[in-house]
């Protein structure tokens, strides 16, 4: 089935059956490999993308439900004011280890900071709960979100 | 290590094309020079005439930091800044890129990346520097001793030039077996906390390419429907429903008969087609025991005399000493199977070139394993097989199996095709959790006798569990006199001097495939040693830190372990927990490094406890990249604590009961509020850092929980009387 979706500011035609998770359209069809597969059941957050600016798990978002939405992936975050601040904080603190979860972490962190410009450590823990990091970079993720808030305030 | 280095010798050459200076070892150890790059000239350092310096990193990057660490060594010796150097992963060639601690085998593991590369990569960088300087000195007509390279510039005696200018000329000079290594006082990068990871920039914007991200033209995706019980085989399968899935290509039984390979155009199609496949399994010879059976076998072994007397102690005399002691502390421990669950599910992609060579794209932890396996599968000589090592999304040991399990699967799946299309093997999370290769279940039974003064007089220690090394290609190297050292490491070689210790080991029957898991045997031995030390201290009425120090009185090993212990206690404010909080401590040596950790808790057993803070002190020799070390300690602590809190793999009739993160719950961000790491200053050669943070973490947590009057001797804690808020 041909579907047209809006992703990273471009209108793209994709061929996908209804019921196909957005994740696999993004990765296999559009070859945007920054969005990762970790669990497929909305329990790790590696696949997080933005739908109209809000984080969603793309492994549990179906292609037929996103036709009218604006989809944004990690590849576009450097152009986003909040995204760039989060990325800067991530570099300052060397948050990443293996890095596999970090696209999803950053997409969620941006979602949090858009909603709450001055989060506390508890706010971060609550919001980021669903983003698993098997390398357990959590300490730096927490510090990174707080640092990004500072960067945005400056 | 040094001897191996000098035996191999260093060589140099200039590549004909593009004036590239390579500095590396030659396979046969001879010091040869050549003007053209050929198979023998696999380098550690590559410099082109534009001055671009590239460190060739022989250890794969799973997050533990060698892309930064090994690059640091080259940059420091050569005299370039970290911004003036990049890195590439080495090809698979064990004659050049072997792990110096593994023999003729290329691979990463045992926290050895820095330890075995420390002299090798510094020597390579220093040789490049000396050859460039000699070329400049000749050109400028001055003594080479007057020159140095700083920030990529060859400078001295009033001259200065970018190093790229002398790359071609440098190849005229012979490399040295013993180039001058920079004195620590000259170091500008080693030991500097401000050094950033080389792989950070590509990991924050989606640019980093993991093996899972390989997309070759015309590739097929293959997923395997595997036997639900180890040892089961395919009786027959029906793919009529799978054929209805758009993108399905074919289904074929693997030559091993352990599963059916489902080929499709895309990952999603492969997932759906595999779901739709019906397989009739022959489980007559399959493993059908349950976790309870495994536990019963281990417990029975602990109650019998051990098969192996590991430290050749007089067991009867130790027993009678303990029996007759003023106080006896006794505990039996049990540790369940654990999965590694790296964030990136296992995968790799295989293709055949026009010349008939085989290329594997893989987050390859031990390239030599699949390299040898593929020689057999494809009937090709070693030089027709190539491995492109990609970034790995974690491993914790899982990507390094002695039988190269998933790479072999991919090879077999590829062999069954006409090889005209690349084949990408993908595991999903369910495959990962259920796909075998677990930290083995282990039991320990310990009886410690104390005299009236509270001094240990006897320590009877029995260990039982499934050997990791026996029956694998690592057996010859890791098993001595029948004893798999990895089952007792951390006890047999503990820096504690414990009087009257008897250590026994019994191997239990193979129940599932088992594998090293971040810190291997130390995952359970450290827990037992450190919980027992605390129980003994309590029975003796002594402070746990003071009590331990009494058994760490020697020099070297004991002194360094004591040093880490004291630093952690001091930094954590040991004995001065905030009101409403309790502390627990543990210290352990593993992989040459000494780590002590203090866990501070709030809450109580009724409402749940909260891990407020973990304070760690680590002595891993010279701290090459202090911030990478801290990150590894943070991650290592959390990995140990997360699994101890709530994870286990259980078998029901031979089948794994867990399937994905909802029932193999990862540590989450809110589980540990803060981790603080301190590094012991040291001039010793660097030792391991990827694993040593893990062993003391769970026992430190257990010792803190013990302050609330529950001694957790079976894991996971959440199933054994502890609730977490
Ligand atoms: S892959 Fe979507 S949440 Fe894990
Ligand atoms: S950085 Fe490895 S999983 Fe998060």
Q: pLDDT of B310-364, one tens digit each? A: 999 999 999 999 999 999 999 999 999 999 999 999 999 999 999 999 999 999 9
Q: Is the pLDDT of residue A108 over 70?
A: yes
Domain boundary among A76, A91, A107: A76
Instruction: Supply the CATH number for residue B474's domain.
Output: 3.30.365.10
Task: Give me the pLDDT at residue B19, please.
Answer: 53
Ligand nearest to the CA of B666: 2
Residues B80 and B188 placed together within one structural domain of the fold: yes
Judge if B118 and B179 occupy the same domain: yes
What is the rounded average pLDDT of the residues B594-598? 98
Is there an atom of ligand 1 within 6 Å of A147 CB?
no
> Quick check: A96 contacting B, CB < 8 Å?
yes
> Which one of B152, B169, B201 terminates a domain?
B201
What is the mean predicted confidence (pLDDT) over A70-92?
98
Q: Which residues of B touch A47 (CB under 8 A)?
A: none
Task: Of B546, B550, B551, B539, give the one whose Cα is nearest residue B327.
Answer: B539
Residue B174: which pLDDT band, with cuts at 50, 70 and 90? confident
Element (H, E) at B483: strand B483-484
**CB-nearest partner of A39 from B267, B271, B429:** B429
By mean pLDDT, which of B51-65, B410-424, B495-509, B705-719 is the weakest? Answer: B51-65
**CA B17 – CA B693 distance, rounded (Å):** 46
Q: What is the share, in percent, of chain B residues with pLDDT greater than 70? A: 94
Q: Does the pLDDT value for residue B496 go beyond 80?
A: yes
Find chain B residues with C-beta within 8 A of A34's C-beta.
205-207
Residue B21: the pLDDT is 65
Report the C-alpha gap between A68 and B240 in whole angstroms.
36
B109-113, B150-154, B156-160, B369-373: lowest mean pLDDT where? B109-113
- We report the CATH number of the domain holding residue A106 as 1.10.150.120
pLDDT score of B477: 83
pLDDT in tens, B75-90: 999 999 999 999 999 8
Task: Give pLDDT, residue B141.
Answer: 96
Q: SS3 letters for B220-233?
A: EEEEEEECCECCCE
Given B398, B426, B454, the domain boundary residue is B426
pLDDT at B175 over 90: no
Residues B264 and B413 in one domain: yes
For A138, name the nearest residue in chain B, comparing CA atoms only: B669
Query: Are A90 and A125 in a shared domain?
Result: yes
How does residue B20 score in pLDDT terms, banded at 50, 70 and 90? low
C-beta A66 within 6 A of ligand 2: no
**Taking the C-alpha atoms of B518, B519, B524 and B526 in order, what is their torsion angle to the nearest 10 degrees?**
-140
| Digit-coded pLDDT (tens) for B643-668 | 999 999 999 999 999 999 999 999 99
- A93 within 8 A of A86, measured Cβ to Cβ: no
Chain B segment 147-186 residues within 8 A of A by beta carbon are none
* Number of structural domains in chain A: 2
Ligand 2 close to Cβ of residue A136 (< 6 A): no
Give the structural domain span for B257.
211-284+346-426
Q: Are residues A120 and A72 in the same domain?
A: no
pLDDT at B23: 65
End position of a domain, from candidates B154, B177, B201: B201
Can you tell me the mean pLDDT for B693-699?
98
B439-480 pLDDT per residue, tens: 999 999 999 999 999 999 999 999 999 999 999 988 988 899
Same-domain check for residues B131 and B276: no
**B13 or B115, which is more confident?**
B115
Share of chain A above pLDDT 90, in %: 98
Q: Is residue B297 part of a domain?
A: no
Taking the CA of residue A99 as reference, the ligand 2 atom at the shortest distance is 1
CA distances from B215 to A76, B414, B432, B569 (A): 20, 16, 21, 51
Q: Given an 8 Å threshold on Cβ–Cβ distance, is A134 in contact with B394? A: yes
Task: Indicate the average pLDDT of chain B.
Answer: 92
- Residue A67 and residue A7 share a domain: yes
User: Same domain for B522 and B559?
Assistant: yes
Examine the domain organization and report whether A119 and A141 are in the same domain.
Answer: yes
Model confidence band, residue A1 (pLDDT cutoffs 50, 70, 90): confident
Buried b (16+ CB within 10 A) or exposed e, B69-78: bbbbbbbbbb
Give me A153's structure tokens: 């305030």
The CATH number for A54's domain is 3.10.20.30
Tokens standing for residue B111: 């926290």
What is the domain extent for residue A95?
A: 77-153
Q: ipTM value, please give it.
A: 0.98
Q: Please report the pLDDT score of residue B600 as a whole number.
A: 98
pLDDT in tens, B228-279: 999 999 999 999 999 999 999 999 999 999 999 999 999 999 999 999 999 9
Q: Are both B113 and B224 inside the same structural domain? A: no
- Out of A34, A45, A100, mutate this one to test ligand 2's pocket (max ligand atoms within 8 Å of CB): namely A100
- For residues A37 and A104, membership in a common domain is answered with no
B291 in any annotated domain: no
With contacts defined as CB-CB under 8 Å, which chain A residues touch B628? 94
**Cα gap B455→B595, rounded to integer Å:** 24
Distances from the Cα of A40 to the Cα of A52, A59, B175, B299, B665, angstroms:
22, 5, 53, 38, 14
Q: How far is the CA of B210 from the centre of ligand 2 (A)?
A: 12
Note whether B232 and B330 are same-domain residues: no
Per-residue pLDDT band for B24 (boundaries 50, 70, 90) equals low
Whether residue B611 lies inside any domain: the answer is yes
**Would you say residue B134 lies in a domain?**
yes
What's the sign of the alpha-carbon dihedral B639, B640, B642, B647? positive
Does a structural domain hold residue B571? yes
Cβ burial of A154 (10 Å; 0-12, 13-18, 19+) is: exposed
Burial class (CB in 10 A: 0-12, 13-18, 19+), B570: middle
């Amino acid at each position: 089935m041909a579907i047209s979706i809006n992703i990273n500011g471009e209108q793209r035609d994709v061929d996908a059956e209804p019921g196909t998770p957005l994740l696999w359209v993004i990765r296999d069809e559009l070859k945007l490999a920054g969005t990762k597969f970790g669990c497929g059941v909305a329990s790790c957050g590696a696949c997080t993308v933005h739908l109209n600016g809000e984080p969603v798990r793309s492994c549990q978002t179906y292609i037929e439900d996103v036709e009218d939405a604006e989809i944004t992936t990690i590849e576009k975050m450097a152009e986003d004011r909040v995204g760039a601040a989060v990325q800067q904080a991530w570099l300052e603190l060397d948050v990443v280890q293996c890095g596999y979860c970090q696209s999803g972490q950053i997409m969620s962190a941006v979602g949090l900071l858009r909603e709450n410009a001055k989060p506390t450590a508890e706010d971060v823990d609550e919001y980021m709960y669903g983003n698993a990091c098997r390398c357990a970079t959590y300490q730096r993720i927490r510090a990174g979100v707080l640092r990004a808030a500072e960067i945005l305030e400056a | 290590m040094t001897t191996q280095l000098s035996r191999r010798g260093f060589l140099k050459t200039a590549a004909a094309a593009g004036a590239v200076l390579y500095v590396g070892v030659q396979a046969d150890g001879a010091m040869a020079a050549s003007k053209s790059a050929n198979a023998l000239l696999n380098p550690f350092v590559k410099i082109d005439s534009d001055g671009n310096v590239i460190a060739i990193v022989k250890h794969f990057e799973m997050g533990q930091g060698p892309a930064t660490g090994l690059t640091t060594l080259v940059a420091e010796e050569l005299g370039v800044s970290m911004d003036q150097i990049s890195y590439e992963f080495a090809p698979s060639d064990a004659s050049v890129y072997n792990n110096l601690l593994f023999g003729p085998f290329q691979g990463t593991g045992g926290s050895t990346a820095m330890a075995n590369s420390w002299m090798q990569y510094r020597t390579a960088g220093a040789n490049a520097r000396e050859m460039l300087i000699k070329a400049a000195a000749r050109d400028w007509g001055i003594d080479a001793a007057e020159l140095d390279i700083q920030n990529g510039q060859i400078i001295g005696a009033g001259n200065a030039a970018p190093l790229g200018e002398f790359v071609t000329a440098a190849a005229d000079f012979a490399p040295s077996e013993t180039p001058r290594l920079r004195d620590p006082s000259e170091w500008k990068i080693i030991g500097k906390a401000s050094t950033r990871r080389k792989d950070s920039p590509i990991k924050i914007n989606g640019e980093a390419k993991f093996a899972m991200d390989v997309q070759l033209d015309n590739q097929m995706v293959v997923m395997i429907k595997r036997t639900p019980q180890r040892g089961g085989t395919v009786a027959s399968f029906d793919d009529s429903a799978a054929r209805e899935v758009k993108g399905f290509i074919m289904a074929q039984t693997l030559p091993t008969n352990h599963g059916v390979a489902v080929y499709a155009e895309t990952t999603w199609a492969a997932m759906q087609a595999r779901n739709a496949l019906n397989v009739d399994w022959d489980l007559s010879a399959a493993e059908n025991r349950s976790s309870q059976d495994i536990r019963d076998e281990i417990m029975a072994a602990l109650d019998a005399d051990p098969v192996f007397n590991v430290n050749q102690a007089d067991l009867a005399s130790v027993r009678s000493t303990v029996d007759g002691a003023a106080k006896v502390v006794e505990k039996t421990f049990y540790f369940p199977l654990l999965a590694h669950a790296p964030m990136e599910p296992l995968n790799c992609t295989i293709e055949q070139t026009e010349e008939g060579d085989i290329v594997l794209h893989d987050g390859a932890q031990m390239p030599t394993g699949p390299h040898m396996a593929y020689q057999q599968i494809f009937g090709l000589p070693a030089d027709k097989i190539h491995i492109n090592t990609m970034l790995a999304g974690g491993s914790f040991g899982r990507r390094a199996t002695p039988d190269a399990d998933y790479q072999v699967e991919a090879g077999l799946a590829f062999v069954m095709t006409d090889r005209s299309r690349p084949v990408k093997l993908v595991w999903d999370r369910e495959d990962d959790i259920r796909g075998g290769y677990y930290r083995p279940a282990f039991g320990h039974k310990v009886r410690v006798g104390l005299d009236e003064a509270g001094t240990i007089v006897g320590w009877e220690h029995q260990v039982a569990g499934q050997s990791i090394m026996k029956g694998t290609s690592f057996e010859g190297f890791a098993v001595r006199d029948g004893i798999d050292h990895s089952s007792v490491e951390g006890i047999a070689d503990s820096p504690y001097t414990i009087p009257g210790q008897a250590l026994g080991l019994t191997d239990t029957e193979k129940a599932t495939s088992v594998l090293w898991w971040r810190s291997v045997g130390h995952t359970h031995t450290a827990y037992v040693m450190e919980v027992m030390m605390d129980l003994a201290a309590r029975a003796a009425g002594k402070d746990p830190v003071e009590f331990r120090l009494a058994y760490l009185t020697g020099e070297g090993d004991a002194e360094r372990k004591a040093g880490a212990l004291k630093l952690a206690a001091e930094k954590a404010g040991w004995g001065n927990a905030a009101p409403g909080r309790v502390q627990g401590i543990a210290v352990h040596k593993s992989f040459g490094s000494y780590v002590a950790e203090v866990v501070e808790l709030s809450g109580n057993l009724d409402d749940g406890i909260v891990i407020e803070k973990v304070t760690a002190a680590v002595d891993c020799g010279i701290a090459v990249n202090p911030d990478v070390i801290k990150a590894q300690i943070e991650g290592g602590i959390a990995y140990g604590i997360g699994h101890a809190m709530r994870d286990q793999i259980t078998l029901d009739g031979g089948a794994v009961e867990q399937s994905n993160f909802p029932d193999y719950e990862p540590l989450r961000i809110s589980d540990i509020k803060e981790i603080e790491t301190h590094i012991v200053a040291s001039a010793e050669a660097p030792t391991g850092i990827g694993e040593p943070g893990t062993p003391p973490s769970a026992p430190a947590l257990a010792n803190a929980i013990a302050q609330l009057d529950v001694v957790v001797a079976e894991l996971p804690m959440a199933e054994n009387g502890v609730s977490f808020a």
